[in-house]
Amino acid sequence: MNYDPSNIFAKVLRGEIPVTTVYENDFVLGFRDIAPQAPAHILLIPKAPLPCLADASNPDHAAVLGQLMLAVGEVARQQGFAEDGFRVVINNGARANQTVFHLHVHILAGRDFDWPPG
């Protein structure tokens, strides 16, 4: 899939759209979701232009994905919900309800979650 630099997360990364930042390093930006689906709902986005998980296909993407997963744990600890539990969601593609085609990770916490989720 081709990356569209006009997507909302690319605009966030360029500073065109303000967010409430909770985490940032050289690879990842984390911020509060504007339409939270749980008491705590944080989005993590890579700073690299990667449309979706299925497009991660070269060795550079391994570092990006690793940084995303490390950031999940760091954010959970920083925000105080690591011990109680949290859900991590990546929607990949239109049928999975990915609406912004810039890879992103949802971290949801602060309530009980059911299984199966769908």
Q: pLDDT by residue (tens digit) across 53-103?
A: 999 998 889 999 999 999 999 999 999 999 999 999 999 999 999 999 999
Q: pTM of the entire structure?
A: 0.94
pLDDT at 118: 65
What residues contact residue 34 under an 8 Å CB cut-off, 6+ apart? Answer: none
The 10 Å Cβ neighbour count of residue 87 is 15
Examine the pLDDT at 112 and tell me if it is beyond 70.
yes
pLDDT at 34: 96
Q: Which pLDDT tens digit goes with each residue over 5-30? A: 999 999 999 999 999 999 999 999 99
| Active site residue ranges | 104
Contact 4, 101 (CB under 8 A): yes
pLDDT at 1: 84
Instruction: Indicate the range of 47-51, 70-74, 106-110, 113-117 predicted with least confidence.
Output: 113-117
CATH of 8-109, one of 3.40.50.10490, 3.20.190.10, 3.40.50.300, 3.30.428.10: 3.30.428.10
Q: Is 47 exposed, middle or buried (0-12, 13-18, 19+ CB in 10 A)?
A: middle
